[in-house]
Structures are given as C-alpha cells and as structure tokens.
Amino acid sequence: MDFKSKITTQVIPFIKKHQLKSSVILLSDPDANSWINKINPQWSGSLPATLIVKGNKREFNEKTFTYNELELLTTKFLTP
C-alpha cells in the first residue's frame, strides 16, 4: 500500500514464489486514508494490516503475525 514502486520487484515475485491462490488486492489510491473506515472503522491506518473475508465472516488485524499465528487465523475461515 505504501510503496507502489515495489509491486513488480517485491509483491508479484512474493505471490509467485509462494503460489498464492487467494485474491491479492493492492490499494494504489493517492488518498489511501479515505479507505480506513471502509476497511475497518477502528483501524488507525498503520501497517501491516490484514483483512480476511469469507462469505459473511470478516476478520481484521492491525499487527504482524508469525506464520503459525496466521495459519491458525486462516484455518478458522476454512472450517464451516
């Protein structure tokens, strides 16, 4: 979100390397702050921030994750 110049040098290679299957959405709006309330009204706007959506389930976190923490979080979205 902060570094448009890194899309081709870091973001796309990361997606390919890790063979991500989910949608990856990048925000390139020059007025990024206008999106804060649309994402989550409690969001301070700081990064990293993670939004996971599946159907009516929605989880927002404004923090870093270890691999295991993120795996645990996403697993609860995969179970019915």
Q: What pLDDT digit, counting tens, does each position of 17-32 carry?
A: 988 888 888 877 888 8
- H or E segment and range at residue 52: strand 50-54
Confidence tier at 68 by pLDDT (50, 70, 90): very high
On the question of pLDDT at 44 being above 90, the answer is yes
Parse the chain into domains and list their residue ranges.
4-78
Q: How many CB atoms lie within 10 A of CB 46?
A: 8
Query: What pLDDT does residue 2 have?
Result: 61
Query: What 3-state class would DSSP assign to 37?
Result: helix
Nearest Cα to Cα of residue 34 among 45, 23, 48, 46: 45
Nearest Cα to Cα of residue 38 among 8, 19, 58, 24: 58
Across the range 38-54, mean pLDDT stands at 90
Asked if residues 47 and 41 have their Cβ atoms less than 8 Å apart, the reply is no
Query: What pLDDT does residue 60 have?
Result: 94
